[in-house]
Structure 1
Amino acid sequence: MASIDPAALPAVAEPDVDALAARVADADRVFVVLDDDPTGTQSVADLPVLGAWDVEDFAWAFASGAPAVYVLTNSRSLAPESAERINREVVRAALRAAERSGIRVDFVSRSDSTLRGHFPLEPDTIIDEVRRAGGTHIGNTVVVPAFPDAGRITIDGTHGVLADGAFTPIGETEFARDSTFGFTASRLADWVEEKSGGEIAASDVVQITLATLRRSAAAVADALRSAADGVPIVVDAVVEEDLIQLALGLEIVEAEGRSFVYRVGPPFVRARIGQRLREPVDVDGLTADRSVRGGLIVVGSHVGLTSRQLAHLVDHRDLAVVELEVPRLLEAHTAADEVTRVIDAVSTALLGGDVVIHTSRTLVRTDDPAESLDISRRVSQAVVDIVHAVAERRTPRFVIAKGGITSSDVATRGLDIRRARVRGSLFPGIVSVWEAADGLAAGIPYIVFAGNVGDDTSLTAAVARLSATA
């Protein structure tokens, strides 16, 4: 762990975000964001979100005139073969809808700011599917995992977590020990080599550092041009202005005919389309007046921060707590009874006030990544079944889903959300507020709360803002 002195870094540039937004608006182009869990939307506002990807779904999103559309692939919870298949399906449908609508689409592979996910599989699949369709040649993958709003930054090619002025390289955090997507490298070029199994040498990766980003957009463009075809480009970022400067450099070289696919953390899209950071959503009046008094909080994430947030919530709010006991869920002879028990308990408790349902906090895992993923999927399916059954009986005042995979499964399968719109964030730059256009959540706020953002009190604050008993 090292301290960071902002004064020792190059001076922050002052890029013209309004000029960038104007250029994006004038272009007949939409960025299609394949979001491997829904938490990517926490950095943007007023954009459509798709929980399904038929051509007609894309046509609905493109008709909005928005510069970007998010597609919930939930691929981080899937095996590589399934992730590849879904990426191909999304690209295929988007290209067909774009041809019908007479627009150009570029693709963003949105993933985790702590480097967990199917890399390089997903961006490589997008590139290949565009090639098969006879689309624009995509020369490079641009890797930008930084999420400054949540303290995830990249300096001199090394990615890490910034907290209280101390910088911890990402390879030294709990995220690097993920049972499915674990890694050791903190330097992004080394991480690319590690995740590609050595097929891409770290020495070949092009790095765009703060020194380049903060010099000028022209300098960024020169660095982008220097990348040979097929070579990944990794980018520093510490503040929002760094991402905007990158976007301006990309605009320059894309106007010259180059195309990229982006593998990025949440705020990249906001910067790429020139959208300013918005004030948090005003939730007054957002919750419909319903006979059911309580909201539903679903906690599936097991990262340490989520467990601390859950503990704080339980200690500081008057609400019902229902635990889904995962060991019982994984036993064939007790699984159905456990699901039924939780459905009944939650449905009854909602009549009296807010209810939190959480999976047992002891993470059941194995040394086999595929088996760990299977356990996660079985637990997710139970959560989906519970939420769906509860919402069919009585609609909560609001739903908060805690954890990336959890929030995707709850949205698309638990609440049948096929089309929605991001209203904005609940707190500055983090925690999405969605307005569902269909499904069991139509008319109530759906809150997408990543497992690894905020502080120990943030979940409590979110419930307090939305609750009838605030």
Structure 2
Amino acid sequence: MSKVLAKEVFDKIPAVDVKVVDELLTKELAELDKKIVVLDDDPTGVQTVHDVSVYTDWSLDSIENGFKEESSMFFILTNSRGFTAAETEKAHKEMSLNITEVAKKLNKDFIVISRSDSTLRGHYPLETEILKQTIEANSQVKFDGEVLMPFFKEGGRFTVNNIHYVQYDEYLVPAGETEFAKDRTFGYTKSQLGEYIEEKTKGAFKAENTTYISLESIRNLEIEKIKEQLLKVENFNKVVVNAVDYVDVKIFAIALVKAIKSGKNFMYRSAAALTKVIGGVSDKNLLTRDELIKEGSKNGGLIIVGSHVKKTTEQLEELKKCDFIEFIEFNCHLVLDSEKFEAEVQGIIEKTEKLIAEGKTVAVYTSRKRLDLGEDKKEEELKLSVKISDAVTSIVGKLKVRPNYIVAKGGITSSDVGTKGLKVKRATVAGQIKPGIPVWRTGDESKFPGVAYVIFPGNVGTKTTLREAVEILNQ
């Protein structure tokens, strides 16, 4: 594994005057009169923002409400990381058509950001290609290029010398050498982002035709040079942005807005950092228990753990050290026998309900061994995993007692719990309970209005972060 010491990499990067950068960025953003629509392929993409709306459907009404908000940015939760390719294509066509229709009606320009995983998993390039084709076919918009920025500081994802890294303790490991690259549905082998693009687009876009925005240019504040690089991009070629800190995103955003004002138009495939910066979202302290739990309920909380990545399993083991939590294992391998599976789900719901009403916090977790049907069974596995996810969701959907709070671990799990279990149509992002771990305040239409819903990504935090977040909620 070609890992490198993080400190050695970061120490070589020169500092920059953040105050100067912030002033330049504020000026540029004030002149960017566009609505920013973030299409989020799972609910963890709001992990850097606060006081922003998330809509859980892409109906014309929801999109129009988003466009009419005072805020410059709103999120649409697509949950497409849990979709098949065909479902993803259909959904992105619908979204594109509805966005262009609302934009025409309200005579408002817009930017579309396809927010996806900072470890490079997801339906790429399918999603942004469908967005490009559909928007161009139904509006005057023409896209010159596509910006890729998977940097996400809170999760330890950094791009240096065009190579995307995932941080493990004091080391940076190239993304293509991590467990995420071995994802059965969204796997890849390349860590150099131009090569990753070439691999994913099956050679349609070449690494050598990619425009690279270097850390050297960024830290030297070569804003005009970066703008000139962007002005030269055409034919939907790709732009890779190196970044190790938010200041890098800000400097790039200054040049980007200048390029946009000069008439350039880009599609965006990014992790969560770009949305915070281009949306002009301020920093906010981590949320406290008093901000999250306002009523004097005697009921216990509910924790649902679905994600199977190694980090989640480690965090679950650490969570088991909490003596105030009752743990229930959900044997999801029974999915192959419908009758036993149904009985298992019903038993868990009854037990969970009883314990929460007694004031005990319950953690329901899926069996840690992944269901493996063998090679060439990806679509079948995905369909069974949807059935398992639906069952996990039904635990929340069928609850009669209101938990004091809800934590869902894993992107697809948290999406399904939010949209299907809690029936949220629109939520407000309250902020983060720990870095990179967002909290929704559910809307009046939801099953439990105003409940604090903690969306815990599968691949974020250290071994102890899940336990620490739950301890905050139980102080």
TM exceeding 0.5: yes
1:321 is the counterpart of 2:333 = no
* C-alpha contact 1:292 1:395 (8 A) present in aligned 2: no
What amino acid sits opposite 1:67 in the alignment? Answer: S
Deviation string for 1:104-131 (max 9, x for gaps)?
Answer: 1110000000000011111111111111
CA distance in 2, matches of 1:308, 1:149: 18
Taking only aligned residues, the RMSD between alpha carbons, in angstroms, comes to 1.6
What amino acid sits opposite 1:205 in the alignment? Answer: T
Shift of 1:275: 2.3
CA distance in 1, matches of 2:369, 2:176: 23
1:198 is the counterpart of 2:203 = yes
Note closer, same or farther for the CA distance 1:458–1:383 as it changes in structure 2 (3 Å cut): same
Which position in structure 2 is the counterpart of 1:355? Answer: 362
Shift of 1:290: 5.5
* C-alpha contact 1:156 1:209 (8 A) present in aligned 2: yes
Given candidates 13, 36, 39, the residue that maps to 1:9 is: 13
**Bigger shift: residues 271-280 or 194-203:** 271-280
1:58 is the counterpart of 2:60 = no
Which position in structure 2 is the counterpart of 1:378? Answer: 387
* C-alpha contact 1:53 1:93 (8 A) present in aligned 2: yes
CA distance in 1, matches of 2:391, 2:296: 26
CA distance in 2, matches of 1:19, 1:413: 43
Query: How many residue pairs are counted as aligned between the two chains?
Result: 465
Deviation string for 1:62-109 (max 9, x for gaps)?
Answer: 332111111110000111111111112112222222333332111000
Which position in structure 2 is the counterpart of 1:339? Answer: 345
Shift of 1:28: 3.0
Shift of 1:441: 3.0
CA distance in 1, matches of 2:64, 2:29: 20
Which position in structure 1 is the counterpart of 2:397? Answer: 388
Which position in structure 1 is the counterpart of 2:283? Answer: 277
Given candidates 166, 186, 193, the residue that maps to 2:191 is: 186
- What SS class does the counterpart of residue 338 from structure 2 fall into? coil
TM-score by length of 1: 0.95
- What SS class does the counterpart of residue 440 from structure 1 fall into? coil
Deviation string for 1:270-291 (max 9, x for gaps)?
Answer: 1122323321123305324254
Structure 1 runs of 4+ off > 6 angstroms? none
Which position in structure 1 is the counterpart of 2:295? Answer: 289
Deviation string for 1:137-161 (max 9, x for gaps)?
Answer: 1111100001112110000000011
Shift of 1:17: 2.4
1:143 is the counterpart of 2:152 = no
Note closer, same or farther for the CA distance 1:43–1:317 as it changes in structure 2 (3 Å cut): farther
Deviation string for 1:9-50 (max 9, x for gaps)?
Answer: 244463532442454345431111110001010111111100
- Structure 2 residue runs without a partner (length 5+): none
Note closer, same or farther for the CA distance 1:21–1:442 as it changes in structure 2 (3 Å cut): farther
CA distance in 1, matches of 2:42, 2:160: 26
- Structure 1 residue runs without a partner (length 5+): none
Shift of 1:449: 0.7
1:172 is the counterpart of 2:177 = yes
Deviation string for 1:137-192 (max 9, x for gaps)?
Answer: 11111000011121100000000112443211011111011111011111101111
Shift of 1:323: 1.4
Aligned sequence identity (%) = 33
Deviation string for 1:241-271 (max 9, x for gaps)?
Answer: 0011111111010001111110001111011
CA distance in 1, matches of 2:396, 2:69: 30
